[in-house]
Each structure stands twice: as C-alpha cells, then as structure tokens.
Chain A
Amino acid sequence: MWQLLYENLEQTVAVILFGIGFSILLLQRNLIRKIIGLNIMDTAIYLFLASMGYIHGQKAPIVVDGITSTVAYINPVPAGLVLTGIVVSVSFTGIMLALTIRLYRRYHTLDIDEIALLARGEDA
C-alpha cells in the first residue's frame, strides 16, 4: 500500500490535507480559523482534481504550432472543474467572512460557542 500511495503522492497529500482541514473545522471554536479550515479542505480538493488530469511528459492544453493531438497535451477537463471550484469557494469565503463581521459587531467575540450562548439569552 505504501508503494501505491507513493506513486499517487499528489492525491495522498491532497487527502491528508482534506482531513486536516476537516479536523480544523470541527475542533476550532474561532470562526476565522474555521474559515481557514474550510479553505484548506477546498484547496485539497483542487489539488486532488488537478492531479487527476496530469499525464507524464505532456504539456498544458494550449495549442502550440497547430498540433492537436492527444499525446501532446494533458487532459483539460480537470482544469476547468478546478476553475469553477475556486470561484465557488471564493464566494463562500466572502459570505462566511461577512457573517463573521456581523457576529463580531454584535457580540464582540469570535468564539462560536460563546456567541451561541450570548444569542440564547436574547428574545426570539
């Protein structure tokens, strides 16, 4: 198994990063750190996706000198998917940060548990 994992080193690293991001998301109580955890998770997925399209010895999919042959370029599909994924995660990061700002202005803390406690004291 170690041999197989070493051959797929990019994907192995991506998966470990995904787990790290996940544990940050679960364990950190600070909202900003949670957002960072989410971003690590997303980035890990992009690394995973990007590694899927690579083929040894072939170039990025920009047509050079009119050569259109599959042995010349790597698979373009994962690149497109990563692009879409990045845009989505930027949007989410923006919204999460906006929420954090709102919560901080209201409760003057970033600790999610403390915020939840303070909110429980308010009227519904």
Chain B
Amino acid sequence: MTLVHNFPFFSILLCMAAGIFTSVLKQRAAKALTFAVVAAVLVLSALTLRLTLTLEDAYAFMMGHFPAPWGNEIRIGRLEALMATGFSAVMLISLIAGMWHTPTVVSEQKVNLYCIMIDLALAAVLVLIYTNDLFTVYVFIEIMTIASCALVVVRQNGHTLVAITRYMIMHLFASGLLLMGIAMLYGITGHLLMVPLHDAVAHIVQTGEHMGPLTVVIGLITAGLTIKSAMFPFHGWAPDTYAFAPPLSSAILSGIISKSYIFVLIKFFYRVIGMDVIVSQQITPFLFVCGVSGMIIGSILAISQRDIRRMIAYSSVAQIGYIYMGLGIGTDAGVEAALFQMLVHAAVKSLLFLSAYELINVSGDRKRFRYLHGAGYRNVPAGIVFTIAAMSMVGIPFTGGFIVKLNLAISGIAMGGWMRALVLIALALSTLLNSVYFLHTVVSIYRKPTQEMEYPQVQKTPPHVAAALFVSALFIIYLGVGSEPILRVIETGLRTFS
C-alpha cells in the first residue's frame, strides 16, 4: 500500500480535524483554514482519481486493525474518486464565489462556527462517498443533516427559522425510518459492513427465509433517503430552505449535500442489496414514477414563482427528478446517466444560486423578477454565467445538461414498452417547461427597466469571484463538449462498484 492509497482517508480526517480546529480560531483564520482544507481535499481527491484510473479494481481501506466483517472500512474505486473530486471542486468554487457575502449574512463572531459547518459537511460528504459500512452511513448522514441545518440558520430571520423547522421535522422522520431499516437489516443478516451484507442478502434471496422483512427494509431505507434528498412527493421542505438560506449555503445544500444522499442510495442498491433484487422487488418503477412527476410538477411550480431564488429551488426539485428517473429506469445505462446528472447538476445549481445572488445584490437586494430588469448589464459577469447555467438547465447542445438528456433518452429507448414512451415524453415536456422559465428569467435580467428605479451603489464583484464563476461555467461547457472520458470513468467505475 503506497502513500497515495491513504489519500481518501487523509482527506476525510483533514476535514474533521479542520472542523474541530476551527472552533478555536478567529474569523479570518477560520476562513483561510477552510479554503486551504477544501483546496487540499480537491488535490487529494484528484490524485486518488489518478491512482484509481490505473487500478483494475476498487480497493478497501481498513479503519483500524481489523478486517472487513469486524472493523470499519472505506472502499475506494473510480466512481467514488470521481464523485469526491467533482464535489470538492464544486465546493471550492462555491466557497470562492460565495464567501465574500458572509459579512452581510453571518454575524462576525459566528463566522468560525459557520466554517466548522462547512468543514464537517464536506467531511460527511466524503465519508458517505467512500464508506463501506451501513452504520457509518447513518452516523454521517446525521452530521450532514445538522450541518445543513446550521448552514441555513446562520441567517436568522423568521423565514429561515420556519423553513428549517420543517426541514428538521422531515429529516428527523427520515432518519428514524433509515435507522429502523438498518436495525431490521441487522436483525435478519447480522452484518453491518456492505460486502458481507451483500452475501447475507443473497443468501436470503436464495432461500426465501426473511424475504418479507427484506422488502420492508428496502422500502424503509429508500423512503428515508428519498425524503432526505427531496424527491418529488417529499420535497415539501426543500424550496423554502434553499430559497431563504444564505447564497453559499444554498449552493452547498442543493448542489452537493442532496446529491450525497442519492449517492448513498445508489450504493445501497448496488453494493448492499444488488440491483437485480431491487428491480425484481418493484422499487425502480416507484422511483421512475416519482422522478417523472417531479420533473413535470417541479417545473410547473417553478414557472409560477415570482421570486428568483424560489424559482431556482423548484427547478432543483425538477432536476432531482431527472436523477430519480435515471435510477428508476433500472439499467446500468440509466444509472450512469443519473450519476452524470448528479455531477452536472451539482455544478449548475451552485452556479445558479451564486450568480442569482450577485444579480439580486446589484438590484438592491430585491428578489422579484420585475426588480431584476437590467441586472445583466449592471453585473456583466454574473449575467453571462447565469445565462450559461440556464442554457445547461434547458439542455442546449455543448452544455452538460444536453449530454444528460441525451443519455437519459438513449437509456430510455433501450428499455422499450411504456417506459420508452414515458421517458421521451417526460424529457420533451420538461425541456419545454424548463425553457419557459429560464428564458423568462434570462430575458428579464437583460431587459431595460420599465420605469425609473433607484439602484443603490454596491461593492463591485471582486475579480476572483468573477473568475471562479467563469471557471465553473467553463466546467459546465467542458461537461457538454468533452464528456466522453468522464462517462467512461462512470461506466467502468459502476462495474466495479458493487
């Protein structure tokens, strides 16, 4: 085992230690440490990705002196390394582009607490990506839930408090379901690590003993994770939480954290239960239907919003629907498309939230569309970047969103039957609806203000923020133009994932 093999472990530990260390730091030092840690995690993850590309198979890393069925373990393959790299890159860009607003939303003495939450949220994301133990998943999901709660309530007005109360009630209920599922699964298998669990589950499926409880377990854990990732009928908590949180928190929450829950769900399907069992237990049609209805209804709700942030939040519900539709198709091709959508959406959504906040900022902190007229001229970089991100949401060629829709359509056509028709209709309809509300937004930010309005002079966007936004926009275009290598990594990674 070389030093590079240790890098995932180092990145997890670095985040946790930084979170603990930040509690004794002052404002500036805390911010600097957070930036340094996230950058270091990005570098470590990229090096891990390079290593895993040279390896044939994924490798396990013991957390302690005891091997698989006894001690904790993390498991590193291409897919995990790719996700970690993608998410930490999005995190770094969001930090650079969003951190300069913190003085307006976070009181000065609480900046270090805010940084703790960012560090530990990243640590939890990394652990959820890498871990190979079902109970570790539970513990770190709780860390993530608390961290995202705190990331929202740093801005303390009535709206965030009410939104976060809803959020907490839904998430605590979901945690209860998840823990109940894990407890039952332990009861019928006697294992907590994923690889021995898979063998035990295969045994149950073969003999048929305890098959009923196994179905309930799959249902409970799927329900818990889909509630936490705001799948359509359970999305009630999401729009308010995303819309009223500080911009950086919205970017992190909707871009990265909600995706981690879905990654855990995919891991549960592939590594613990086995995708064939999931398909034969009729879980995938349920996810498919929820995904499709989320795509349509989320978009319709987004059209009816008057506040730009709520519009983006509802479009997030629609985009999560794409991921669940890919999962619900149930083939490897569908899941690959879903995984690619997770990467694209992480980049696009954080970019949308951050650039929308820049546009709001130059319009005197007013969020309604009619006040945003001309915002694209008042802040040129944010306007351009917002337009590119919106193009990706609609699915214009040469952006990441196009490749996602293409792959989803291809995997849907391969299915045949009612699913093929439904996939194509849903994609066409949701593209149409997406273009309606994003076109409306882009037009309204480039429209001349109708009546004379006073816009206060605000601090100009610093060059490094504009640069970060542009880098992220270039990344989205790269995902649309040069997606081939990434898709190949996802494809080969998924094969060694289980």
Contacts and interface: CB of A to CB of B under 8 A. Distances in A.
Interface of A: 18, 21-22, 25, 31, 34, 38, 41-42, 45, 48-49, 52, 77-78, 81, 84-85, 88, 91-92, 95-96, 99, 102-103, 106-107, 112, 115-116, 118-119, 122, 124
Size bracket, chain B contacts: 20 to 34
B187 interface: yes
B420 interface: no
A52 B243 CA distance: 43
Contacts of A31: 165
A115 B176 contact: no
**Consensus secondary structure, chain A interface:** helix
Contacts of A118: 158
A103 B180 contact: no
A88 B165 contact: no
B307 interface: yes
Given A124-B159, A124-B307, A95 B149 contact: yes
A49 B162 contact: no
B186 A45 contact: no
Given A45-B183, A78-B186, A119-B161, A96 B176 contact: no
Contacts of A25: 169, 173
Contact of B161 (A18, A78, A88, A99): A99
B165 A52 contact: no
Contacts of A48: 180, 183-184
Given A22-B176, A84-B135, 14 more contacts: A18-B180, A45-B183, A48-B180, A48-B183, A81-B135, A95-B146, A99-B161, A99-B168, A106-B161, A116-B162, A122-B157, A122-B159, A124-B159, A124-B307
18 contacts: A18-B180, A38-B169, A38-B173, A41-B173, A45-B176, A45-B179, A52-B187, A78-B186, A88-B142, A99-B161, A99-B165, A102-B156, A102-B161, A106-B161, A115-B165, A118-B158, A122-B157, A122-B159
A112 B165 contact: yes
A77 B168 contact: no
Contacts of A78: 183, 186
Q: Considering the complex of A and B, which 4 residue pairs feature the smallest CB-CB distances, nearest first?
A: A119-B158, A119-B162, A49-B183, A52-B187
A40 to B, nearest CB: 10
